[in-house]
């Protein structure tokens, strides 16, 4: 960037070397010569103090103010990233990180490159975002009756829990595909005795049901005749167990008094039509119209069977084939936080994440490193969810912050983001970089993928005369394509041994936009080879061809190299050696990413 004239060293060199005026010839204009410092393969990881500095650099303040001079939104976002120690979509690394690199490396020259490792605040994952419109509710007496098509059971059983999907189609008739419901219901393993149930009548309620969930709709209400206030006008107290309400008169459809004509007596079961009201300050039934009654049953009633109840919280999602329990094979478990967790904490909504943290520790004592748990619960604003990842020691809440890498280069004596290059890995002489190796089956070997300085990343299942059945992955870091136009992946590869029939099956390039951290639980897409694989007869490196990844524009992806000879029914007569180097994921020269 700046010419470096190390005067003392040069003068000393001249005095010791010869009488030739090397200084004049080389540094005073006789030759266009100067000492340069161009470095490639550099990497720098930002510290907490670096983020704080971003909001202080004058050039960053000018950039932020220029975005929206009127309301200073850009400046507020710049200050927020410094405080939260993370870039965002609008306060991005390509915009504000150059000031930091200019400050730290002012002396490096054009052509210098550096991979900057930083924290990005991405927010919720797609799995969690699906809960943004989730609905949570507990089943009501009416809901149980709808599922049972009977009255008398305010719980579900093994015989009726399967009716939830059909019930939700009616209950949430306006829901669209992807809608999630977090429902709570009473459950018993014991089926009720038939005597406990009665035929389902729409709009008909026991008095106890009306008073448990009062509304002012017109209902057919059934109870028992209690204390009679007036046998002429039909004023009486209707009772049902511990429930009681005053009825201000009963007539027929035409308004005629019917008490004496019908022979209604205290203790009779009676059904009337009316509506709940609190006019006058006392709960009452207005506009009582006689429907029917039957004399009191003097025979002892059969006691209802005692049922052991529990409260179940369950998740359902609406798909193309209707409602179904929510599952996700990309996570270790999908959990609706159990009711006893709320009860033990003495809350109806979760606001303290330590409650869920404690639950996970107790519920999953055998969690494995990188296992992901999706936990749905009722928060202060309704149904929601979070992801937790087991790090080998404890469960960690996924806060939406991820580590990313962006390439920067010195051009025209200033650091700028190379946003046309999304990932670059030479491998040769530089190591695996941010790539990681994930073992699935080593068949007793110590490694399959490994780094060799002269050849890059290499993989082979042939050891000591034996061709092993193995599976091993070389996985990239997160690759951010948020501003991509036509991202293209290329690399150089050599393939030795194996055979032309099996090698294309055994050696694969994979891509995903939803990496779980576990190659086996992630949903991958296998990329079709764009150039014929080397035939295995020599060690010559050839281009992989161009893999177009435009379908992932705007997303964050991970690519991987899978070496797999572990296929059922396929012998391994000759395991290939695969060597990979000079990987580049970038825009073609004629394209440029959106600014």
pLDDT tens figures, 191-227: 988 877 776 544 568 888 888 888 888 888 998 999 9
Helices (H), 68-183: 73-84, 93-104, 126-129, 141-148, 164-171
Class of 421-586 in CATH = mainly beta
User: Tell me: the pLDDT tens digits for 335-351?
Assistant: 999 999 999 999 999 99
User: Tell me: the pLDDT tens digits for 59-86?
Assistant: 999 999 998 877 789 999 999 999 989 9
Q: Which helix (H) or strand (E) holds 355?
A: helix 353-363
- pLDDT at 11 > cutoff 90: no
CA–CA distance, 427 with 41 (Å, rounded to integer): 10
Helices and strands, counts by H and E, the chain = 14, 36
Give the phi and the psi of residue 475 in degrees, each rounded to 5: -115, 135
How many CA atoms does the CB half-sphere of 72 hold within 13 Å? Answer: 5
pLDDT for res 35: 60
Position 102 confidence tier, pLDDT thresholds 50, 70, 90: very high
CA–CA distance, 36 with 33 (Å, rounded to integer): 9
User: Tell me: the pLDDT tens digits for 585-594?
Assistant: 999 876 555 5
- SS3 label, residue 521: coil
Structure tokens at 245: 């309400």
Nearest to 524 by CA among 428, 440, 405: 440
Least confident of 101-105, 278-282, 352-356, 512-516: 278-282
CA–CA distance, 542 with 530 (Å, rounded to integer): 12
- pLDDT at 4 > cutoff 70: no
CA–CA distance, 374 with 387 (Å, rounded to integer): 5
Alpha-carbon torsion (209, 215, 221, 225), positive or negative: positive
Alpha-carbon dihedral 340, 342, 347, 349, rounded to 10 degrees: -150
The topology (CATH level 3) of 135-169+181-294 is OB fold (Dihydrolipoamide Acetyltransferase, E2P) (2.40.50)
Nearest to 339 by CA among 380, 309, 373: 309
CA–CA distance, 264 with 266 (Å, rounded to integer): 7
- SS3 label, residue 153: coil
User: Tell me: the pLDDT tens digits for 127-139?
Assistant: 888 899 999 999 9
Q: Where in the chain is the domain with CATH 2.60.120.200?
A: 421-586
Q: Where in the chain is the domain with CATH 2.40.50.200?
A: 135-169+181-294
- What per-residue string of b and e applies to 480-510 under the rule 16 or more CB within 10 Å gives b? bbbbbeebbbbbbbbbbbbeeebbeebbbbb
Mean pLDDT of 428-447: 92
Structure tokens at 139: 């089943």
The owner of tokens 């004058």 is: 58
pLDDT for res 1: 52
């Amino acid at each position: 960037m700046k010419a470096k004239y190390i005067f003392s060293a040069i003068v000393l060199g001249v005095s010791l070397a010869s009488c030739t005026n090397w200084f004049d010839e080389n540094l005073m204009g006789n030759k266009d010569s100067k000492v340069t410092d161009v470095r490639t393969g550099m990497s720098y990881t930002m510290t907490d103090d670096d983020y704080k500095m971003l909001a202080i650099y004058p050039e960053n303040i000018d950039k932020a103010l220029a975005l929206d001079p009127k309301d200073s939104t850009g400046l507020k976002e710049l200050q927020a990233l410094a405080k939260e120690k993370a870039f965002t979509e609008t306060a991005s690394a390509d915009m504000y990180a150059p000031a930091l690199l200019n400050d730290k490396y002012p002396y490096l020259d054009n052509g210098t490159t550096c991979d900057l490792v930083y924290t990005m605040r991405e927010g919720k994952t797609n799995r969690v975002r699906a809960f943004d419109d989730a609905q949570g509710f507990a089943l009501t007496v009416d809901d149980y009756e709808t599922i049972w098509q009977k009255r008398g059971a305010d719980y579900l059983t093994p015989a009726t829990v399967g009716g939830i999907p059909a019930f939700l189609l009616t209950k949430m008739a306006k829901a669209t595909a992807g809608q999630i419901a977090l429902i709570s219901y009473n459950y018993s393993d014991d089926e009720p005795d038939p005597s406990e149930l009665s035929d389902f009548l729409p709009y008909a309620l026991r008095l106890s049901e009306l008073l448990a969930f009062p509304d002012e709709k017109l209902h057919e209400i059934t109870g028992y005749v209690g204390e009679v206030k007036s046998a002429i006008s039909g004023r009486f107290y209707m009772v049902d167990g511990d429930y009681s309400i005053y009825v201000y008169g009963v007539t027929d459809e035409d308004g005629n008094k019917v008490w004496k004509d019908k022979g209604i007596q205290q203790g009779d079961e009676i059904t009337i039509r009316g509506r709940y009201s609190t006019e006058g300050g006392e709960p009452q039934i207005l506009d009582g119209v006689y429907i029917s009654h039957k004399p009191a049953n003097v025979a002892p009633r059969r006691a209802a069977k005692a049922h052991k109840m529990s409260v179940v919280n369950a998740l359902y999602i609406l798909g193309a084939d209707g409602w179904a329990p929510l599952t996700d094979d990309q996570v270790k478990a999908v959990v609706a936080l159990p009711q006893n967790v709320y009860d033990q904490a003495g809350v109806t909504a979760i606001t303290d994440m330590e409650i869920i943290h404690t639950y996970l520790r107790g519920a999953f004592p055998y969690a494995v490193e990188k296992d992901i748990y999706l936990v749905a619960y009722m928060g202060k604003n309704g149904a929601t969810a979070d992801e937790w990842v087991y790090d080998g020691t404890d469960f960690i809440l996924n806060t939406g912050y991820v580590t990313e890498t962006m390439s920067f280069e010195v051009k025209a004596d200033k650091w700028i983001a190379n946003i046309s290059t999304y990932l670059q890995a030479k491998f040769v002489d530089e190591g695996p970089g941010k790539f990681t190796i994930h073992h699935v089956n080593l068949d007793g070997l110590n490694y399959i993928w490994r780094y060799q300085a002269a050849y890059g990343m290499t993989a082979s299942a042939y050891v000591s005369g034996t061709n092993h059945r193995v599976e091993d992955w070389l996985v990239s870091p997160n690759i951010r394509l948020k501003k991509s136009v036509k991202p293209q992946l290329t690399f150089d590869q050599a393939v030795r041994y194996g055979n032309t029939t099996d090698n294309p099956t055994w050696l694969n390039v994979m891509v995903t936009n939803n990496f779980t951290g576990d190659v086996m639980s992630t949903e991958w897409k296998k990329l079709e080879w764009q150039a014929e694989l080397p035939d295995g007869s020599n060690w010559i490196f050839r281009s992989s061809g161009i893999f177009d990844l435009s379908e992932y524009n705007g997303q964050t992806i991970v690519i991987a190299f899978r070496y797999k000879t572990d296929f059922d029914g396929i012998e391994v007569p000759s395991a290939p050696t695969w060597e990979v180097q000079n990987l580049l994921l970038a825009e073609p020269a004629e394209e440029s990413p959106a600014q």
